[in-house]
Structure 1
Amino acid sequence: MKKILITNDDGYESEGLKALIEALTPLGEVIVVAPSTEKSACGHSLTLTRPLHFIRLEENFYKLDDGTPSDCIFLALNKLFKEHKPDIVISGINIGSNMGEDITYSGTASAAMEAVLQGIPGIAISQVYAESGKSIEEFGYTLAQKSIAVLVQKIFAGTFPLPPRKFLNINIPPIPKVQCKGFKVTRAGNRLYAHNAEVHYNPRGKEYYWIGLPELGWMDTKGHTTDFEAVNDGYVSITPIQLDMTAHNEIQNLQKWVEQ
């Protein structure tokens, strides 16, 4: 039986995580190691300054006390899979998109990054929503569940489609399953960012800031199929992501600049 290790960055009680467990249980043995609290936008971080504790909630289901998604994968592979590694690691179903440069912030994507660093195929899957989560309340995770089940079955029937140190980043459009146009392979788009930090004051008058969520906007890239465009057009976006962040096209120009 195939072994599937899953985690998320929304915490072990997340409805998206429960939906992922339900979708993957028919396909193999599912082992869950998830953060004890929400760790959204924690990036690819490991906890080095304090001890971490596995807390067993039920068979094959653990929460990692105050751990990040990367911690969950790193320690699960050390504690739970000493001899036989999982066949795949899947992170999600994230509540909200992980597209464009947001991938660098994403705790969801970071778990898939950690998996491929350890030589195990990794997938990050996110449910895009509209109008402050209204689409999730209306449509649930049905399309996301169907999509990840189809892709995992395809992988188990053959091979993982990417070479080492590359993972799949999947974003699900906020539409009913029957309206989905299918899968589309994309590149990561370019997000438009705004400064959204609200200023508040505590009861003693001390100023503090709360970083908010900016609107989902992206740069116009006509002629290119990006994750943003695919989701906006009603497709499930599948983006191959590599950990090599070198700007290879700039090496020669940089060399010339250095030598001037």
Structure 2
Amino acid sequence: MPRILITNDDGIYSRGLRAAVQAVAGLGEVYVVAPLYQMSASGRAMTLHRPLRAKLVDVPGAKIAYGIDGTPTDCVIFALARFTEFDLAISGINLGENLSTEITVSGTASAAIEAATNGIPSIAISLEVSREKYKFGEGNEVDFSVASYFLRKVARAVLRNGLPDGVDMLNVNVPSDASEETGIAVTRLAHRMYRPTIEERIDPKGNPYYWIVGRKCREFELGTDAYALKVERKVSVTPINIDMTARVDLEDLYELLVI
């Protein structure tokens, strides 16, 4: 039986993670290692300045499940140290879309990237939500059934066929209004989804404090993940290569630098 690792950044008690476990039922032996708490926007952060604590958690459908008081990347590292080998890693189903080059901020995508750096074919999957407040909850108001359908479809294909040469992971985003008949678009990353800024506010004692807030971009280039999801209302599947080296002639660049 294939061995499947499932993690996320919404926490081990989120309904999206439970939906991911159910989505791959029968496809392999499922191991879950996920944060004990909400860890959105943690990127590839690792916990290096304190010990990690692990707690066994009952997750129906999983052979074993650990909650870790650390980041999604910590969870992948823990899983590989504890269980050594996996045939597929899945991160999600995330509450809220993860689009554009900003996926490096996402704990969901970063967990899949961490697994991919260890040679494990990986899938990050996110479900667009209709209201911002849903993004940081456990997903009690959200229907994951269609996202689960597409996750099973993609996971089964990857387990059967592997990923093409040069592809280390797939970043999948499902529209909030998708059905099982919704089309799939294979896309590239948009440049940006948000333009972060700072809001200054004043506390009751008159001291300023600051929130990082994101202003959503409204226009996206054809062929990008954001265009497919936001304009075409399709399921976006973006192939990701974790080698971020620019595709340029290295000799030309060397000559440019040494002259």
Task: Give your verdict on TM over 0.5.
Answer: yes
Residue 172 of structure 1 corresponds to: 174
**Is 2:125 the counterpart of 1:125?**
yes
Residue 227 of structure 2 corresponds to: 229
Q: For this pair of structures, how many residues does the alignment match?
A: 251
Distance 1:120 1:188 in 2: 21
Residue 60 of structure 1 corresponds to: 64
The one-letter code matched in structure 2 to 1:229 is: Y
* CA RMSD after TM alignment: 2.4
After TM superposition, the score normalised by the length of structure 2 is 0.87
Residues 1:102 and 1:218: Cα distance change in structure 2 (over 3 Å): farther
**Is 2:81 the counterpart of 1:78?**
yes
Where does 1:1-260 land on structure 2 (aligned, <5 Å)? 1-58=1-58, 60-65=64-69, 67-79=70-82, 81-82=83-84, 85-132=85-132, 140-156=143-159, 158-163=160-165, 166-178=168-180, 180=182, 182-191=183-192, 193-219=194-220, 221-222=221-222, 225-232=223-230, 233-249=232-248, 251=250, 254-260=253-259
- Helix, strand or coil at the partner of 2:108: helix
Distance 1:47 1:23 in 2: 30
Give how far 1:27 is off.
Answer: 2.1
Residues 1:228 and 1:205: Cα distance change in structure 2 (over 3 Å): same
Residues 1:179 and 1:217: Cα distance change in structure 2 (over 3 Å): farther
Give how far 1:256 is off.
Answer: 4.5
Higher alpha-carbon deviation: 208-217 or 89-98 = 208-217
Q: Deviations over 1:86-123 (max 9, x none)?
A: 22110001111111111111111111111111121111
Higher alpha-carbon deviation: 111-120 or 199-208 = 199-208
> Conserved in 1, the CA contact under 8 Å of 2:121 and 2:158?
no
Unmatched segments (≥5 aa) in structure 2: none
Distance 1:64 1:2 in 2: 24
Q: Deviations over 1:143-186 (max 9, x none)?
A: 21000101112223x22123477111111112131551x22211
Residues 1:48 and 1:122: Cα distance change in structure 2 (over 3 Å): same
> Conserved in 1, the CA contact under 8 Å of 2:123 and 2:172?
yes
Residues 1:191 and 1:250: Cα distance change in structure 2 (over 3 Å): farther
Give how far 1:196 is off.
Answer: 3.4
Residues 1:97 and 1:216: Cα distance change in structure 2 (over 3 Å): farther
> Conserved in 1, the CA contact under 8 Å of 2:173 and 2:236?
yes
Residues 1:150 and 1:259: Cα distance change in structure 2 (over 3 Å): same
Unmatched segments (≥5 aa) in structure 1: none
> Conserved in 1, the CA contact under 8 Å of 2:195 and 2:217?
no
- Helix, strand or coil at the partner of 1:125: strand
- Taking only the aligned residue pairs, the percentage that are identical comes to 39
Give how far 1:193 is off.
Answer: 3.8
> Conserved in 1, the CA contact under 8 Å of 2:201 and 2:208?
yes
The one-letter code matched in structure 2 to 1:168 is: L
Higher alpha-carbon deviation: 22-31 or 85-94 = 22-31
Distance 1:68 1:146 in 2: 27
